[in-house]
Amino acid sequence: MDTAHDERRGGSIQAGRAVVGMLVALTACAARADPAATLAGLVRSACGACHAGGAAEGGLDLDALGLDLADAAVRDRFVLMHDRVAGRQMPPDESDLAPAARAHLVEALSAALVTADAEAIRVEGRVPLRRLNRAEYQETLRDVLALPTLDVADRLPEDLVRDGFNKSAEGLDVSRIQLDATLDAAEAAVTQALPPGASPQAPDHYGAFATRLFAEGQTFGEREAMFFAKDGAALSFTGPQLAALRASLVQDPAIECCIFRSAYWPYYGYPAGFIARRGGVYRVRFRARAVLQQPGFTIGPADQPVPMTFRARRRSGPDVSGDVRAVGGIFDILPEPRDFETTVLLHADQTIEYSVLGLPVPLARNVAGGPPTYRYPPFPEGGQPGVAIQSLEITGPLPPDPWPPASYQALFGTLTFRAAPSGDPLPVEVATSDPVTDARRLLAGFADRAVIAPLNAGDLAPYERLVGDALAAGVPFTRALLTGQAALLASPHVVYLREPRGLDGTAGGGRSMFDLAARLSYWLWGTRPDDVLLARARDGSLAGGATLAAEADRLVADPRFERFIEAFTDYWLDLRHVRRDEPDVRLHPEYRFDDYLAESMALESRAFVTSLIRDNLPARSIVEADFVHANDRLARHYGLPPLAGHAVRRVPLPPGSPRGGLLTQAAIQRVTANGTTTSPVVRGAWVMARLLGQTPPKPPASVPAVEPDIRGATSIRDLLARHAADASCASCHARFDPVGFALESFDICGGWRDRYRGLEEGDLVTGIDRAGHDYAYRLAAPVDPSGRLPDGRAFTDIRALKALLVAEERQIARNLLHQFTAYATGAPVRFADRAELESILDATAGDGYRVGDLLRGLVTSRLFRGLPPAPAPTPSAPEPTP
């Protein structure tokens, strides 16, 4: 062996190849002698020329690395090596490793890795303790304390994103800051659980008609944007007249408040004189109809519903300042007047403002240093849609129902309470004749609620001591108990999730049932298990695959599943970034201030992913489908027949449409662009990584970034020409640039384009944008969406590419399983997990890898249930010597 090594060090690749052949033969004979040495030999012979003996190409030095597969870092490197060799990316010249030798090396690597990984799992577990992320922590507190509107997540630091999600055990650390914030959140939460006073406080009422419906006489955009109307015509008032009308006790119910612009900045849009005195949930009732404004400031009924919502904010100048939150849900305001009702969460000192969606946002600007100007955008044919409001009623804060509030009962059970003396930081005082006994009892009861698995005897002792010491020191009962309960909410019992282990009857079986229930619930609902799921854990039936699958089905069908969809798509599809970039208003004036478009595209992608699971669609739908989910805004955006209403619904696509599937959805195009330009490299790499699970390696450090040319002089394709021309660039870029080129048919917001836009070269297009300003851009070079996949197959456009990519359905399904695994278990798929995932894929292959079935397969897998991986099959090697 050593002679061969020396030969190889001095030799050329040609000599190396000959030696490889010889060594393979040698090692095959010595197969059973020592697997590790065999593997070492195989690796060295295949890889040593570039990666050992002083050479360390690409940062891989086999001599320094060693072969201790028990070490996680070493193992990870070998997994990478296995994948590169199996994927024929290494050696760079494929012919340097003969297929038989490659297969042998891959098998040996695989066997060794499976053994080592399985052993590591057996010893350390698959996933360590995982801290709840802040969204999960907030939901947990909401459920434990029966406070559905509790708002503490923002007190906690943002969670690290790792392996694509903010749910990774290794990424969710506890630091001084984290723990401090958790304590703050827990203390705030238990305090909010108290009733605000001795008896429910009557809510405040506010009502507005006519001129009280709007705080000012006009808003930005002036008359076209908002006016009061009666009998279908705008009214005009002087300032004093309007003030007098507002102040009058008698309001004319025939006067409507008509709004024709969206609430995006700058804007005045709140009713006169309403401010929430106290924070809480308010009921909002209003009567409104959808109208069309015609030139001359007249209105008539609209022909389509107009979507509208509310925003909660502090009153301020016209600028958006501080917290502005959309609240109350979206309504489709109809042409006939109708009553609507919703509830909104307001903090003290907040008001609500009308937020009509999808309308112009007039913005005064100092063009070329002159005075502020704008023109209201030209009316669409038929008139400018808007909303006419006839009345508004706001009532709140709604007193808790039942009384005492459920949240109080969660802490103090059936004990009575009275108002606390003034100056006391807490609003109420709980009455008890036996504080020590009551404290013990209530603490135990609270622990039952707060901690998922039953505590061991003595686990509660530190908290009993905490409360007992406080009582002994003279701290009032209410405060003493709250302190103990807050501490429990910040304890490892609540803050961490444990991996289920040993459900096959070995140590820890009982507790593991609860860990499994928790794992399932935090995956599909983002919160602790409900009583039904806990009952299954308690009686042990959750250990059975059928019950587990049935519970998963129940959770998926429940409205709370929405929380999973939101959290999952926020990270898997980067939907949390959908508003990250403002579209460049010079090149895309039609997208200016179009928040409704951003909202709608996020709704579409979420609805699609929901449908993948609930409707059990085949995995290839991610690439290609004959339908989209669309609402009124998206129908316009995608060039479909018009739809009414804000809710996205499934609509069939005309044959030959480029839309359909996740790949071409507007949200995906938007989060992979930067607001001004699109990049085939960024998009292609994103698609390959997120949808196909084939993440490209990092670019070389020495390559400077491409400076896109928005003058329109050169196309991005020209600027990237080197990627194809230069062989070393192409080795990586050929894998993802082509997808990006096909996606060049979609602009920064996913709108279809046949030509690029620029500022200096091309055919001029002018007009007035949604903010009332002149725009001028040029239509420049045509988009060339053609390309060639690494295997040589060519495509002319995105439709053709989709038809080719659909063949990768197994890989798409595999990637979905990987994404689900990382999200649901807090750790990515490990080498020892792969075999089981392949068997799930095998089981679903016949039916097109339906996503609901994939999910169910994962739920009932050994991986998910915390069972050790099934023993690996022995690699096909020469007969073992007895």
DSSP H or E segment with residue 788: strand 787-788
Per-residue contact string for residues 397-426; x = within reach of another protein by CB under 8 A: --------------------------x-x-
Nearest to 86 by CA among 65, 108, 64: 108
Distance of CA 643 to the CA centre of its chain: 27
Binding positions for another protein, 183-212, rule CB under 8 A: 183
For residue 500, say if its preceding peptide bond is cis, omega within 30 degrees of 0. no
Asked whether 719 and 740 are in contact (CB, 8 A), the reply is no
CA distances from 702 to 680, 698, 699, 708 (A): 20, 11, 8, 18
Supply 377's token pair.
Answer: 């955008």
Q: Smallest gap, in angstroms, from Cβ of residue 243 to another protein? A: 27
For residue 476, say if its preceding peptide bond is cis, omega within 30 degrees of 0. no
- Asked if residue 744 binds another protein (CB under 8 A), the reply is no
- Asked if residue 492 binds another protein (CB under 8 A), the reply is yes
- Asked if residue 483 binds another protein (CB under 8 A), the reply is yes
Q: Contact with another protein (CB under 8 A): which of 53, 157, 435, 696?
A: 157
Q: Smallest gap, in angstroms, from Cβ of residue 498 to another protein? A: 7
Q: Smallest gap, in angstroms, from Cβ of residue 581 to another protein? A: 8
Per-residue contact string for residues 657-676; x = within reach of another protein by CB under 8 A: -----------------xxx
Nearer to another protein, 236 or 321 (CB): 321
Q: Smallest gap, in angstroms, from Cβ of residue 764 to another protein? A: 17
Q: Contact with another protein (CB under 8 A): which of 145, 308, 710, 749?
A: 710
Q: How far apart are CA 144 and CA 531, in angstroms?
A: 12
- Asked if residue 218 binds another protein (CB under 8 A), the reply is no
Q: Smallest gap, in angstroms, from Cβ of residue 467 to another protein? A: 9
What letter does residue 781 receive in the DSSP assignment? E
DSSP H or E segment with residue 64: helix 62-65
In DSSP notation, 121-152 reads: HHHH-SS--EE--HHHHHHHHHHHHT-TT---
Q: Contact with another protein (CB under 8 A): which of 149, 199, 248, 316?
A: 316
Interface with another protein: number of residues (CB under 8 A): 74
Nearer to another protein, 99 or 318 (CB): 318
Nearest to 330 by CA among 354, 307, 313: 307
Q: Smallest gap, in angstroms, from Cβ of residue 701 to another protein? A: 7
Q: Smallest gap, in angstroms, from Cβ of residue 125 to another protein? A: 5
Binding positions for another protein, 525-584, rule CB under 8 A: 581-582, 584
- Asked if residue 722 binds another protein (CB under 8 A), the reply is no
Nearer to another protein, 209 or 568 (CB): 568
Backbone angles phi, psi at 14, to 5 degrees: -60, -50
Which of these ranges, 249-257, 482-490, 829-837, 858-866, lies near another protein under the rule CB under 8 A? 482-490
Q: Contact with another protein (CB under 8 A): which of 21, 496, 644, 694?
A: 496
Which of these ranges, 17-25, 412-420, 492-500, 615-623, lies near another protein under the rule CB under 8 A? 492-500
Which of these ranges, 45-53, 128-136, 243-251, 831-839, lies near another protein under the rule CB under 8 A? 128-136
Counting DSSP H helices and E strands in the chain, the numbers are 32, 24
Beta bridge partners of 758: 778
- Asked if residue 486 binds another protein (CB under 8 A), the reply is yes
Q: Contact with another protein (CB under 8 A): which of 469, 615, 726, 842?
A: 469
Rg (CA), the chain: 32
Helix, strand or coil, per DSSP, at residue 878: coil
Q: Where are the alpha helices (DSSP H) in 366-459?
A: 406-412, 435-450
Nearest to 682 by CA among 581, 534, 797: 581
Nearer to another protein, 470 or 801 (CB): 470
Asked whether 808 and 739 are in contact (CB, 8 A), the reply is no
- Asked if residue 481 binds another protein (CB under 8 A), the reply is no
- Count of residues making up the chain: 882
Per-residue contact string for residues 321-360; x = within reach of another protein by CB under 8 A: xx--------------------------------------
Q: Contact with another protein (CB under 8 A): which of 15, 70, 80, 179?
A: 179
Diameter of the chain by CA atoms? 106
Q: Contact with another protein (CB under 8 A): which of 75, 493, 659, 723?
A: 493
Q: Smallest gap, in angstroms, from Cβ of residue 483 to another protein? A: 6
Nearer to another protein, 73 or 202 (CB): 73
Q: Where are the alpha helices (DSSP H) in 432-501?
A: 435-450, 461-472, 477-489, 492-495
Q: Smallest gap, in angstroms, from Cβ of residue 525 to another protein? A: 24
Q: Smallest gap, in angstroms, from Cβ of residue 96 to another protein? A: 29
- Asked if residue 146 binds another protein (CB under 8 A), the reply is no
Q: Smallest gap, in angstroms, from Cβ of residue 479 to another protein? A: 8
Nearer to another protein, 10 or 425 (CB): 425
DSSP H or E segment with residue 551: helix 545-557
Nearer to another protein, 210 or 486 (CB): 486
Q: Contact with another protein (CB under 8 A): which of 709, 744, 833, 853?
A: 709
DSSP H or E segment with residue 819: helix 809-825
Asked whether 352 and 270 are in contact (CB, 8 A), the reply is yes
- Residue 509, classified by CB atoms within 10 Å of its CB into exposed (0-12), middle (13-18) or buried (19+), is middle
Q: Contact with another protein (CB under 8 A): which of 66, 128, 329, 697?
A: 128
Nearer to another protein, 64 or 705 (CB): 705
Q: How far apart are CA 86 and CA 102, in angstroms?
A: 7
Nearest to 443 by CA among 412, 474, 421: 412
Q: Contact with another protein (CB under 8 A): which of 59, 93, 176, 474?
A: 176
Name, in order, each residue with C-beta under 8 angstroms of 666's C-beta and a sequence gap of 6 or more.
597, 601, 604, 634, 637, 638, 746, 749, 750, 751
Q: Contact with another protein (CB under 8 A): which of 77, 162, 753, 810?
A: 162
For residue 397, say if its preceding peptide bond is cis, omega within 30 degrees of 0. yes
Q: Smallest gap, in angstroms, from Cβ of residue 861 to another protein? A: 21
- Residue 752, classified by CB atoms within 10 Å of its CB into exposed (0-12), middle (13-18) or buried (19+), is middle
- Asked if residue 247 binds another protein (CB under 8 A), the reply is no
Q: Contact with another protein (CB under 8 A): which of 3, 12, 366, 874?
A: 366
Q: Smallest gap, in angstroms, from Cβ of residue 613 to another protein? A: 25
Amino acid at 151: D
Q: Contact with another protein (CB under 8 A): which of 174, 247, 426, 765?
A: 174
Q: Contact with another protein (CB under 8 A): which of 96, 117, 143, 163?
A: 163
Nearer to another protein, 484 or 684 (CB): 484
Nearest to 402 by CA among 387, 414, 390, 386: 414
Q: Contact with another protein (CB under 8 A): which of 124, 216, 341, 726?
A: 124
Beta bridge partners of 768: 774
Supply 277's token pair.
Answer: 């005195």
- Asked if residue 474 binds another protein (CB under 8 A), the reply is no
Nearer to another protein, 179 or 243 (CB): 179
Binding positions for another protein, 675-694, rule CB under 8 A: 675-676
Binding positions for another protein, 759-818, rule CB under 8 A: 759
Nearest to 812 by CA among 853, 841, 780: 841
Backbone angles phi, psi at 212, to 5 degrees: -80, -10
Q: How far apart are CA 50 and CA 660, in angstroms?
A: 46
